[in-house]
């Protein structure tokens, strides 16, 4: 008897809408990452992308606990000499809260080509409206 692996055509991807209103950032990100990886799916395979699409709405209303808003710093390097750029969580959240949720989820996914493919199925919006009505997304209540 051989192990069953789902073929590319057998993976049916669903679309889910998750409301971030009042949710804690880390708990929201970990649960969204599980859906993107496909761990909620009975056909989960670690080396295949069996996950679903996730739309996160109300990103501006997510809750940040503890001292993270004062202490957490995002860094990236531009590639030029002296090009280290830093921005603290408070400023980034005020400027574009979608980036905060995207970064939290992305860092919980695998750091491979497969992880980049998984994060491309994540859509985050600041308010409660989104342009994905044609995909008929289902409301997903997270634990």
Q: What is the mean pLDDT of each run of 10 residues along the chain (143 residues)?
A: 87 96 97 97 92 97 95 97 97 97 98 97 97 96 88
Q: What pTM does this model have?
A: 0.92
Give the structural domain span for 41. Answer: 13-64+98-139
Tally of domains within the chain: 1
pLDDT of the residue at 8: 83
Alpha carbon dihedral 114, 119, 120, 122, in 10-degree steps, equals 150
Q: Which CATH number covers residue 22?
A: 3.90.1180.10
53 within a domain of the structure (yes/no): yes
**Cα–Cα distance between 84 and 78 in angstroms, integer?**
6
pLDDT of the residue at 111: 97
**Cα–Cα distance between 69 and 55 in angstroms, integer?**
24
6 within a domain of the structure (yes/no): no
Q: Are 93 and 126 in contact (CB under 8 A)?
A: no
90 within a domain of the structure (yes/no): no
75 within a domain of the structure (yes/no): no
**Residue that has been written with the tokens 């496909």 in this structure:** 38
pLDDT of the residue at 123: 98
């Amino acid at each position: 008897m051989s192990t069953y692996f789902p073929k590319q055509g057998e993976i049916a991807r669903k679309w889910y809408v998750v409301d971030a209103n009042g949710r804690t950032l880390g708990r929201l990100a970990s649960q969204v990452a599980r859906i993107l990886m496909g761990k909620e799916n009975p056909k989960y395979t670690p080396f295949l992308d069996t996950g679903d699409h996730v739309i996160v709405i109300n990103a501006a209303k997510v809750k940040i606990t503890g001292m993270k808003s004062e202490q957490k710093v995002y860094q990236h390097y531009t590639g030029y000499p002296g090009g280290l750029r830093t921005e603290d969580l408070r400023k980034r959240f005020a400027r574009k809260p979608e980036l905060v949720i995207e970064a939290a989820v992305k860092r919980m996914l695998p750091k491979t080509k497969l992880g980049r493919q998984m994060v491309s199925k994540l859509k985050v919006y600041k308010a409660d409206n989104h342009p994905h009505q044609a995909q008929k997304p289902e409301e997903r209540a997270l634990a």
